[in-house]
Structure 1
Amino acid sequence: MELAVTDLSVARGGVPVLSDVSFDVKAGEALVLRGVNGIGKTTLLRTLAGLQPALSGTVDFPEDTGAYASHADGIKTQLTVTENLAFWADVHGADLPDSVFKTFDLEDLRTRLAGTLSAGQKRRVGLARLGVIGRKVLFLDEPTVSLDAFSVKMFASWLRDEHLAQGGIAVIATHIDLGLDLPELELEPYKAAADAGGGSDEAFL
Structure 2
Amino acid sequence: MALCLEARQLGCERDDRWLFEGLDIDVKGGDIWRVDGPNGSGKTTLLKILAGQLADYSGTLRWQGNPLHRARAHFAANLLYLGHAPGVSAGLTPLENLAWYQALHGERGSEAQREAALSTMGLEGLEDVPAGRLSAGQQRRVALARLSLTPRALWILDEPFTAIDHAGVAALETQIAAHAQAGGAVVMTTHHTLNIAHPLCHIALG
TM range (shorter): 0.7 to 0.9
SS at match of 2:38: coil
- Is the contact between residue 8 and residue 23 of structure 2 (CA under 8 Å) also seen in structure 1? yes
Q: What are the ranges of 5 or more consecutive residues in structure 2 without an aligned counterpart?
A: 65-74
Shift of 1:140: 0.9
CA distance in 2, matches of 1:95, 1:167: 24
SS at match of 1:156: helix
- Is the contact between residue 30 and residue 170 of structure 1 (CA under 8 Å) also seen in structure 2? yes
User: What is the identity, as a one-letter code, of the residue corresponding to 1:178?
Assistant: L
Shift of 1:184: 3.6
Q: What are the ranges of 5 or more consecutive residues in structure 1 without an aligned counterpart?
A: 192-205
**TM-score, with structure 1 as normaliser:** 0.83
**TM-score, with structure 2 as normaliser:** 0.83
User: What is the identity, as a one-letter code, of the residue corresponding to 2:123?
Assistant: L
- Is the contact between residue 32 and residue 182 of structure 1 (CA under 8 Å) also seen in structure 2? no
- The answer for the alignment partner of 1:122 in structure 2 is 139
| Segment of structure 1 superposing worse, 43-52 or 66-75 | 66-75
Shift of 1:72: 0.6
Q: Alpha carbons of 1:44 and 1:133: their partners in 2 closer, same or farther (altered >3 Å)?
A: same
- Is the contact between residue 137 and residue 165 of structure 2 (CA under 8 Å) also seen in structure 1? yes
- The answer for the alignment partner of 1:46 in structure 2 is 48
- The answer for the alignment partner of 1:201 in structure 2 is none
Q: Alpha carbons of 1:69 and 1:11: their partners in 2 closer, same or farther (altered >3 Å)?
A: farther
- Is the contact between residue 94 and residue 132 of structure 1 (CA under 8 Å) also seen in structure 2? no
Shift of 1:77: 0.9
Paired residues for 1:182-201 under 5 Å? 182-188=199-205, 191=206
Shift of 1:186: 4.1
- Count of aligned residue pairs for this structure pair: 188
Q: 2:13 aligns with which of 8, 11, 23?
A: 11
CA distance in 1, matches of 2:83, 2:117: 20
Q: 1:160 aligns with which of 137, 157, 177?
A: 177
CA distance in 2, matches of 1:102, 1:57: 42
SS at match of 1:109: coil
The sequence identity of aligned pairs, in percent, is 35
Shift of 1:54: 4.5
Q: Alpha carbons of 1:143 and 1:13: their partners in 2 closer, same or farther (altered >3 Å)?
A: farther
Q: CA-atom RMSD, angstroms?
A: 1.9
Query: Would you say 1:143 and 2:198 are equivalent positions?
Result: no
CA distance in 1, matches of 2:14, 2:144: 26
User: What is the identity, as a one-letter code, of the residue corresponding to 1:167?
Assistant: G
